Amino acid sequence: MNLHIINKSKLRPEMVLRFFIGIIFCIVIASGILFYCFQINLITDITGFALCPFHTITGIPCPGCGMSRAFILLGQFRIREALEMNIFSLFLLGLMLFYLIKGRIPLWMKNKYLVNLLLCSVLIFWIIRIANIFC
């Protein structure tokens, strides 16, 4: 049995990531179009549905809670409502689109200070979100 055939696969992690980002982007666009065509209001028609295990266990939303709904709203071009669901949705979708087109992460994402600033803003967003629940 020739084992060299198995190792000659050209599948790289970047290709897998690009494939999955492409799938997510297609799902966002397709679901946005379907929800728009069938006049489904994501905010009022679909409630009490949580995919987040952290939220399900603790009852506290994580920083990513609302991201799926926000992506669907972005697919419908309802940007204001998407940003109300999760303020980072437009930013993350933009990063995904950039990676899908260019095949690499933006150069500014390699700057540790900007990445730390982004992480701090996510943490502050999370604290504000938790404070709004308990106040």
7, part of any domain: no
User: Domain of 72?
Assistant: 13-106
More confident of the two residues 1 and 64: 64
Predicted TM-score (pTM) of this structure: 0.70
pLDDT at 113: 92
> Is residue 66 assigned to a domain?
yes
Residues 88-107 have a mean pLDDT of: 87
C-alpha 94/C-alpha 88 separation (Å) is 10
How many domains would you assign to the chain?
1
pLDDT of residue 83: 92
Is the model more confident about 117 or about 77? 117
Burial class (CB in 10 A: 0-12, 13-18, 19+), 60: middle
